[in-house]
Amino acid sequence: MKHNLLTVLALSFSLQAFSQVSLPRIDAPEELTAGSFEEGTITRISESEIAEFLPWAQNAQNQLNRALNTARSMPLRDRLPHIERAVKSVVNRSGSRQYQMFMRFALNRGLLLVSEMQSSMNMEDIGAQENALDLLQRSIQVALSFYESDLSFQNRAQNGNNSTVLSYARFGLLFKDSMLAGVINVLDANAQYRLMYKLVEMTNWDLSRDAHANSYADSIVEAYELMQDLPAEPLADDRANLRLIRRLNALKILTLVAPASETRRQGTPSVPIGNVSRVVSPKYGDLLISASSNLDGVCKSLGFDRAVPGSEELGDTIHGMVLEVDGNGDPVKMVPVNSQAGFYLIAVTCSGHRSSPRVREIAVLTLPRANDMLYSSSSNVNGVCRSQGYRRGLEGVSREDHIRGVALVVDENGDVIRAEPVISQTGFYISRIICIR
């Protein structure tokens, strides 16, 4: 009995020590602590502050979409300053208190990354303007994806529940996933290194202050230790910067997947009229929905019975890959939206009693790897997801050719068949894939 008691006590102390993992102190990126890019630290707000701030959150979406629409008809040289002015206007109008809002954070950090890019390279270089514009548009897309949760948080606060724990990890990883795809398109080695450095720095800060930081301990410590060893500014030699970029690319933090939304709200219905509800910005999980989707299926995935024919409102101002769903509301594939083709749903009217959204668990994997090697775009999409522990994948992966080397080709079962070189315009690796749990 005495021996068993000692064993239990030893195990108890062991578990207690294990649960209290000591993480290094991760400081906020300097640019986010003061000056024009400063982020707020308010998590509890009064009724009067809500009254001042709520109209900003409600109007920001319209202002950003208008700016994107107007920019489409402008010459390329005028688009970047136009979008930049619009984003700065939205951020500045949030008030001097700088509220703790992920929507504002995304826009603010997008401006910061563009500023870093402008300081690190010649913006007259081929593709530079397009890269900067892409970064801003990506930050807008992330901001709009948090439109619902921001308003939801404010509404809960207005009802007296203003102590909601904010998921910094979810925000940081979603922002990282979206912006990383744009950063690796920047061909200037100086600028790409500086942007990747800042992106890792911001992501690690977000993970370290999350309520579940200990679950990311390995990635936080690994990133922290590498950042202590790397220069904050790019080196004079491009080849040296490429070596630094490869070291950053190997970090586990870049492969982490954002946790699911706690509320899992798919769009914001207006006050129902009878059994009809208008759903603004409908989403499947965190993904925008393609206009090529079956509308009844869209409403089923949102928890309704069917769609009202002809009620859809379409947009094409946010470029990238969006999700197509079938008549049962199940995900089918990812399809592109750009200035030449493709639309996504801005709003749809659904009928029937609303229940909980019927969505499958999905995961967005950015730069997926197996044994530190990227996957070739020649791989079977189901096999890539199965090798990562998921049930299947969706057709319509994003692919890139900027990281030189070799990439793995896997079959439908996830088994490695061969390796292929990544060569400009002929050999590609998978930069983003959607997997079903």
**329: which DSSP letter?**
S
Helix (H) or strand (E) holding 409, with range, is strand 405-410
Q: What is the pLDDT of residue 254?
A: 87
Which residue is it, tokens 């744009």?
Answer: 182
The count of other CB atoms within 10 Å of the CB of residue 435 is 23
State the virtual CA torsion across 231, 232, 235, 239 in degrees, nearest 10: 80
Q: What is the pLDDT of residue 366?
A: 83
Q: What is the pLDDT of residue 48?
A: 59
> Which residues, in sequence order, are bridge partners of residue 351?
276, 306
| CA–CA distance, 280 with 286 (Å, rounded to integer) | 14
| CA–CA distance, 85 with 270 (Å, rounded to integer) | 30
Q: Which two tokens stand for residue 63?
A: 């202002």
Tell me, yes or no, if the pTM score tops 0.75: no
| CA–CA distance, 357 with 206 (Å, rounded to integer) | 28
Rg, the chain, Cα only: 23
Q: What is the pLDDT of residue 95?
A: 59
Helix (H) or strand (E) holding 149, with range, is helix 147-158
Q: Which residues of 298-330 are buried (b: 16+ CB within 10 A; e: fewer)?
A: bbbbbbbeebbeebbeebbbbbbbbbbbbeebb
Instruction: Chunk the chain into consecutive blocks of 10 residues (it has 437) and report each block's average pLDDT, rounded to whole numbers.
Output: 40 40 85 81 55 66 80 82 89 63 87 95 88 89 70 58 68 89 88 96 94 91 95 93 92 81 44 63 84 93 88 74 90 80 82 76 86 91 94 89 84 94 80 89
Backbone angles phi, psi at 434, to 5 degrees: -105, 125
State the virtual CA torsion across 8, 9, 11, 12 in degrees, nearest 10: 110
Provide the phi-psi class of 357: left if phi over 0, else alpha when psi is between -120 and 50, else beta: beta
The count of other CB atoms within 10 Å of the CB of residue 361 is 11
| CA–CA distance, 376 with 369 (Å, rounded to integer) | 10
Q: What is the pLDDT of residue 407?
A: 92
- Residues 87, 90, 96, CA angle at the centre, nearest 5°? 125
Classify residue 11 by burial, with Cβ atoms within 10 Å: 0-12, 13-18, 19+.
Answer: exposed
Contact present, 248 and 183 (Cβ < 8 Å): no
Q: What is the pLDDT of residue 433?
A: 92
Q: What is the pLDDT of residue 115?
A: 95
